[in-house]
A and B are shown apart, each in its own frame.
Chain A
Amino acid sequence: MKTRTSILALAAVAATLGGALAPTTAAFAQAKEQFFPVLVYRTGVYAPNGVPFANGYVDYLKLVNARDGGINGIKITYEECETGYATDRGVECYERLKGKGPTGATLFHPLSTGITFALTDKSFVDKIPIVTAGYGRSDSVDGQVFKWNFPLGGTYWGAADMLIQHIGKKEGGLDKLKGKKIALVYNDSPYGKEPIALLQERVKMHGFELQLLPVTHPGIEQKATWLQVRQNRPDYVFLWGWGVMNSTSIKEAVAVGYPREKMYGVWWSGAEPDVRPAGDGAKGYNSLVFMAPAGKGRVHQDILKHLHDKGLGTGSKDEIGEVLYNRGLTAAMVSVEAVKRAQTKHGKKPLKGEEVQWGLENLAIDQKLIASLGFTGFADPLSTSCVDHEGGSVARVQHWDGSKWIVGADRYVADQQIIKPMIKASAGKYAQEKKLAPRDCAKELTAGK
């Protein structure tokens, strides 16, 4: 009895104090290494979508080391941290990884809008860029307020705008949208709520009717939502889901007999794990696709040759070339190119997050560079500046034919005349709430900074 109690007491003390002692910040020697933190979610409800993205991201980092010997000779090191899509764990991961490596974290891809919001506040103090390729805060395009945020290649406002343009085109003109009903089935989180502001702006312009149908996290239960769809019979349904919510929506659409051809998902609702569980029912479903559609190019051959053939690949061979895997690749490619760009200013040495910020802000990824990297067809040109942290956004619409994604030919560009004033207003409000003084881009440019 006595020993048992003392063992117990010891275990309790060890368990509680262990937390206080375990994380020690080790001192790193100044090695020629560039450290990339990798926030992932390989567990939890969003894992089916989190895993291929993470594998693509890590595979590209490995490839740069294996094929090129690092970024201009600077070896890439990385460490994964599991967030489970939870904001508090994401913040913990960020704190854990931000100081690692000889120069600290290069940049973060939070891969969750909730974590992005939380990290945005910290970026002003820590001076580490937050890259949110195709997600995050739409107003963070404004680099004058959001110095450290980079929603590269697209925002949700842009995405919603492109979808409206697409169905306007289908109907034979945006003016034909008058009197039409569009339902937005969205994940009831900052992610799903982002497009609403833009859609309401478009409602004012074209006079269609917008129905908002929120779905609670994680989105496995949607019966009530789709009953409303059945009752109201909207002309189009926009889907703003993630993970298991997407496939559930498609299954429910089948159940209530809503035509999949009239469903349009955002680019996070258009990957293989979203449609496959619905089987044949998913045939005809549409979604946006930005940067990288499914398929394989030269970079994939390199990954197979340098990594998977040598047993160094991260995930299974089958997922190479899937939508989310490719998006992970592109995200990593953009990050590496940002470091390369920053090296032209700061020299070929391990760079701090603050120095990488310059690279992200002066990105010049053109078709030539994309081709030389083997990404032809899997990335769009990006050119950022102090004022514009998005760097251009192009997307296409794809549909699922039952076994693969068929990408349409039309390319859409968001209407900046609508979005710009919204960004300015929203960013201005943020700066005011936070008592931030916006940067003066013109001044910085002339100062040569």
Chain B
Amino acid sequence: MFYRENGQFKSSYREDQQLLGIRQDRWFIFALIAFAFLAVPYLASDYMFRAILIPFLIVSLAAIGLNLLVGYCGQISLGHAAFMSVGAYAAYNLVVHFPQLNFIVVLVLAGFISALIGTVFGLPSLQIKGLYLGVATLAAQFFIDWVFARVKWFTNYSPSGSVSTAQIDMLGWTVNTPVEKYLMVLAIVIVFALMAKNLVRGHIGRSWMAMRDMDVAAEVIGIRPVHAKLSAFAVSAFYAGVAGALWGFVHLGSWEPAAFSINFSLNLLFMIIIGGMGSILGSFIGAAFIVLLPITLNQVLPVMGRWVGMNFSTAFASHLEFMIFGALIIFFLVVEPLGLARLWSIGKEKLRLWPFPH
């Protein structure tokens, strides 16, 4: 009834090509962004910002990056946390050696350095596919971990191998309260998400998707695999690098190579599988699922235990958290293999017919 596109005529190419074609969608997204910028800063607590919202946004950005590569171009990567760490350490070194640089410039440069490394480790994708490529990117994960743990120059000769960051200064604006950090991250994530959304519907994104669906056919119609695959690796690693720099500077403040371990890589992969491969929205939903659900369970379970008159010990609650989390992953994968984003689009289709289905 409310969600109908009847009567929305597109009378110019410009209108036909806009990012959000349906008026209700557009309003919804604008309202959401406005809410996130204007209302959330007044509603959320410090805990919400620092422990929930900021990590969620940063991880979403990394998941978008991985989704561009895996979901859109069909190349598996098990080393995305390593590309994040490249971004984080690149940003750290840029700040240490060029303290006068603006943080946004640092972020972008860190992204480019990460993109470069990503392209190098993407080279095997020209020869190998599928699981074998997964193993090759796994090598990237271990190699990069090793480099940051062993080569002292990257950590500025810190005795413990752990680095810590200075305050973030941007054009005289010192970003240090949780709200400021949140707003900065939010702005960056929105810009990058819109860029990704735009990218995947242009000729680059289409060449990725062609490569994903059938590489031989794509080559026949004139798409060069070298360009398509390597550009996907580069863009994806760029996103990961920016996310990694934000994770280090904004969320952790100080970190060690273990912060970007193989577990993080696998988690990113789970996010896009559960959220929905080949969907920007899916990256956000997946990140929410993997980041927020364990924390929620951890807090809600003891409370629920008290309702039924049981006092859960910390260990029991956290074992239960693992079990329920695992069970939910399997449940969602079984009932909706295409990811949670697919549920959203099913919901949208149903809404179009509501309340008078056929």
Contacts and interface: CB of A to CB of B under 8 A. Distances in A.
Same complex for A and B? Answer yes
A387 interface: no
A71 B314 CA distance: 25
A137 B46 contact: no
Interface in A37-80: 40, 42-43, 47, 51, 80
A25 B256 contact: no
Interface residues of A, number: 55
B198 interface: no
Interface in B139-188: 149, 159-162, 164-167, 176
A117 B162 contact: yes
B254 interface: yes
A25 B51 CA distance: 13
Interface string B295-323: 11011100000000000011101110010
A80 B176 CA distance: 28
Contact of B258 (A92, A189, A435): A189
Interface stretch (A83-91, A244-252, A295-303): A83-91
B110 interface: no
Contacts of B161: 189-190, 193
Interface in A80-127: 80-82, 84, 87-88, 91-92, 95-96, 99, 113-114, 117-118, 120-122, 125
A18 B300 contact: yes
B176 A430 contact: no
A196 B150 CA distance: 13
Contacts of B165: 121, 433
A16 B292 contact: yes
A87 B258 contact: yes
Contact of B315 (A42, A122, A194, A426): A42
B: contact size bracket: 35 or more
Contacts, number: 150
A210 to B, nearest CB: 14
Interface string A179-201: 00000000011110110110000
B164 A117 contact: yes
Nearest to B274: A12
A130 to B, nearest CB: 13
Contacts of B292: 16, 18-20
Contacts of B336: 8
A113 B160 contact: yes
Contacts of B256: 87, 114, 117, 189-190
A121 B343 contact: no
A235 to B, nearest CB: 25
A23 interface: yes
A197 B255 contact: no
Contact of A121 (B254, B296, B298, B322): B254
A91 B347 CA distance: 36
A18 B296 contact: yes
21 contacts: A5-B346, A8-B343, A9-B346, A9-B347, A16-B285, A19-B52, A19-B292, A20-B48, A23-B51, A42-B314, A82-B314, A84-B318, A95-B47, A95-B50, A99-B46, A118-B253, A121-B165, A122-B253, A137-B160, A197-B159, A433-B96
